[in-house]
Amino acid sequence: MVIPAVTPDLTARVGSVVLKNPVMSASGTFGYGLEFSPFYDISRLGAVIVKGLSLLPTPGNAPQRIVETPAGMLNAIGLQNIGVERFVSDVVPRLADAGATYVANIYGRTIEEYEEVARRLDGVASLAAIELNASCPNVKEGGIAFGSTPGGLSTLTRRVRAATGKPLWVKLSPNVTDIGAMARTAEEAGADAVTLINTLVGMAVDCRTRRPLLSNVTGGLSGPAVKPVALRMVWEACKAVKIPVVGIGGIQSAEDALEFLLVGAAAVQVGTANFRNPNACVEILDGIAGFLVRERVARLEEYRGTLRL
Amino acid sequence: MPFRRPRFVHGRILHNSGHGIFYRMEVSIPDRIEFVPGQFAMVSGWPGNDPLLPRPLAIFRAGGARGKGNVEFVYKVVGRGTALLSGLHEGDPLRITLPLGHGFDLGAEDRVWWLVGGGVGFSTVFPAAVALEAQRADLEVFLGARTRDQLPPKEWIPGSGVPGRAHLCTDDGTAGFYGRVTDAVRERMDGRKASERARLTILACGPREMLKGIAELALPLGIPVQASLENHMACGFGVCWGCVTAVRDGEKTGYRRVCKEGPVFDAREIVW
């Protein structure tokens, strides 16, 4: 007789990074992590992915920055952030104190800036990995310029790869024709993992005032509306590469997260759901554990990538 | 112990009823909260993913006993989210994150407080009036609306029976002062001596144009204005950076979050 696991083993491996569970917060939806400390112990998460960091503090776009759309939202924040120096001096010690596993999402206006930010983070002992934002759609030089062609992505990944010894995850844009080819490009250029999807470029206008609803005119679509697209792209990326794929896009529940793991994702990131419910990540985590217990799966690894076709 | 740090709680509606164009909704929550007037909550209660985001509502009142709290909101239907909220009934579940944001600073002593509410903005300044009354502070309330039916019911105005407490204004003259609330404040200010003006502090919530008008009127006279701003919000607790407003940052313009550094700002900071 098989004794069902009471506490399933949720360990997730993203390359050399071993996570206590597969649930991470997505960059740009979780601040610098500490904002969630009033709600729960952030060390419970597989990892916290902090808001995109640039070399210098960045003011971001003028308001209006967000607009709600059917089962989703558009944002054009413009990567407002405190800059890598203040992150290292002010935030890193507090994240380390909180016992959080954390990953820094980085971006630059030029490849040199990306390299500089990566180098600055290289010596931060408690940092688990660097996530390269090659896909922000809201800033001209915020990654999409590098991330939308295989040539640009390859050069960027190679250069940043050479600038840091940290595990390097490359966050891919869904605004491309062949996501598998882009994932392969990142893999060949030395990425330790790919994370996807970033937001889909969208637009909202007011038919009466005849004006766009975002000051940036276009923005990035996120939320449940993008989940089917994200799931398909994660599935395709999983088939295209040998490195781990981290699934992101519209995850609102444990079931949503399990779907990404089922198609082969090594782990997931929860984004927009954090806005609706600050406890979303831990509720999803508890839900995954409960599901595995009910399904009598002792280890997450046994469930992952078992899609029946 | 009542809680002051933000929490995500599941509540249940005790009542949710219409009063003219406004709704007043009381919700039971698992614990008592302590809030600063001007703080708000993110509220949702409809099933499914559409609309996606909770709605920011000012905390109108909070109470309860040990281990059992209640909180009250006053809101106006402005879009799909508030329309869905208005359709909820006693016993329906709500998801609430509260208390959020930076509220009014009511600490100064020996001030004369003028509280200005435009439209549904009264729901943000009335809790401040209640707190100031408890401090036995000297206060007056100015309320502006398009027309008579869009003013709050008289019995909601804290100390409405006190002579000279409330100044009502309507754009169409159907009740009280005929004109904008900003003009009513200006007239009342004109009738005051400089020594009296020097003791004034204004707390205001309403449409941005109204807040701008109050700031332009009061700031040159050295009268402090605490302005409560509104904006579309995704999270309400400082992580999405979607709700920012432009502020003076030295010589440059910076952006601060309405949900975190606000919703109450020193009006001098704001780039109107």
* pLDDT band with cut points at 50, 70 and 90 for residue A263: very high
How far, in Å, are A7, A50, A242, B7, B174 from residue A24 at the CA level?
A: 19, 10, 21, 21, 57
| Percent of chain A's residues with pLDDT above 70 | 95
Domain boundaries, chain B: 7-100, 112-225
Are A36 and B8 a contacting pair at CB < 8 A? no
Identity of the residue numbered A9? D
* pLDDT band with cut points at 50, 70 and 90 for residue A138: low
Is CATH 3.40.50.920 the right assignment for the domain spanning B112-225? Answer: no
Is CATH 2.40.30.10 the right assignment for the domain spanning B7-100? Answer: yes
Q: Which residues of B are less than 8 Å from A279 in CB distance?
A: 8
Q: What is the pLDDT of residue A280?
A: 98
Q: CA B5, CA B36: separation in Å to the nearest integer?
A: 11
The answer to whether the beta carbons of residues B231 and B240 sit under 8 Å apart is: no
Alpha carbon of A72: minimum distance to chain B alpha carbons (Å): 6
Q: Which of the two residues, B109 and A86, has the higher pLDDT score?
A: A86
Q: What is the pLDDT of residue A134?
A: 87
Alpha carbon of B150: minimum distance to chain A alpha carbons (Å): 25
Are A63 and B50 a contacting pair at CB < 8 A? no
The mean pLDDT of chain B is 95
Q: CA A66, CA A62: separation in Å to the nearest integer?
A: 11
- Strand A193-196 and strand A168-171: pairing? parallel
* pLDDT band with cut points at 50, 70 and 90 for residue A140: low
Active-site residue (options: A136, A207, A238, A281): A136
Which residues lie below 8 Å from residue A307, measured CB to CB, with a gap of 6+? A235, A262, A263, A264
Can you tell me the mean pLDDT for B109-124? 96
Express each pLDDT in B196-242 by its tens digit.
899 999 999 999 999 999 999 999 999 999 999 999 999 999 999 99
Nearest chain A alpha carbon to B47: A71
Q: Is A207 a residue of the active site?
A: no
* pLDDT band with cut points at 50, 70 and 90 for residue B10: very high
Are A31 and B239 a contacting pair at CB < 8 A? yes
Express each pLDDT in B179-196 by its tens digit.
999 999 999 999 888 898
Domain boundaries, chain A: 12-303
Interface test with A, best of B244, B245, B256 (most A CBs within 10 A): B244
Q: Which of A59, A72, A278 sits opposite B97 (nearest CB)?
A: A278
Are A73 and B8 a contacting pair at CB < 8 A? no
Distance of CA A262 to the CA centre of its chain: 18
Nearest chain A alpha carbon to B231: A64
Are A224 and B241 a contacting pair at CB < 8 A? no
The dotted CATH code for A12-303 is 3.20.20.70
Closest CA to A262 of A290, A291, A224, A293: A291
Which residues lie below 8 Å from residue A236, measured CB to CB, with a gap of 6+? A179, A180, A183
**pTM given for the model:** 0.95
DSSP E strand boundaries for chain A: 12-14, 17-19, 23-25, 47-53, 66-69, 72-75, 102-106, 127-133, 168-171, 193-196, 200-203, 205-206, 211-212, 218-222, 245-248, 267-270
